[in-house]
Amino acid sequence: MFFLSRSKEEKELISAINFILGYKTRKPELYKLALLHKSIRTEESNERLEFLGDAILGLIVAKHLFKLYPFKNEGFLTKIRSKIVSRESLNNVGRKIGLKKLINIKKIKTKSYDSINGDALEAIIGACYLEKGFEFCEKKVVTKIIVPYFDLDDLTTQTHNFKSKVLEWAQKERKKISFIVEKTKTSNRFSQFKSILKLNGEKISVGYGKSKKNAEKDASRIACEKLELS
């Protein structure tokens, strides 16, 4: 009777959350809020749930790694946790899950919001915590997000500092590298930064981000792909 009494929109949302977290929520309004981008409403959005989810995810990942690697030191655990909860990693998971189709966001003329998938994923985790508590949320995040989408063996050897990688390569090859960062206005409330990476004065890549730092990271990531830096 619970499911039959729901609207078509709510049923679709319940099914989507069931796919993502593996359970049928009885509070779809929480997840509706978790998928509400601030471009739709200024007084209500998923930002508070994102804040909560970020903290919950950090604790879950730390606890999972602590149990999984009993003989590794704090530095190792911190490094792997940072890779898992990084904006880039969460955005990739969000894209693979298909969050873009679920997020309620205003369409405006812009390259893209570089963090909406990761932000929404954190908000969903926050919603799960509010509805079911920490232990339930922890189990679902580990089994439905961490285990399927993160190869921990690969993460222990993978380098995600693309800017350092491309700078080290340029120094080794005796090439001059530079970043030109500019602010691009998208609307009255949103702004985005664009970073142009140049190698010996020649444009190699262009990256975007909500900050200068993120824009440079994005440009560096694309440059690493083009230069085939493993």
Instruction: Name the active-site residue from 50, 54, 138, 216.
Output: 54
Instruction: Name the active-site residue from 50, 114, 122, 216.
Output: 122
Name the one residue in this structure whose structure tokens are 């010996």: 200
Active site (annotated) includes residue 54: yes
DSSP per-residue letters across 27-94: -HHHHHHHTB-TTT-SSS-SHHHHHHHHHHHHHHHHHHHHHH-TT--HHHHHHHHHHHHSHHHHHHHH
Name the one residue in this structure whose structure tokens are 């530095």: 75
The structure tokens listed for 59 are 């604790």
Residue 53's Cβ-count burial label (10 Å; 0-12, 13-18, 19+) is: buried
Which amino acid is it at 57? L
Active site (annotated) includes residue 114: no
- Of 167, 183, 181, 156, residue with least CA distance to 227: 167
CA distance linking residue 21 with residue 17, whole number of Å: 6
Residues serving a catalytic function are 54, 122
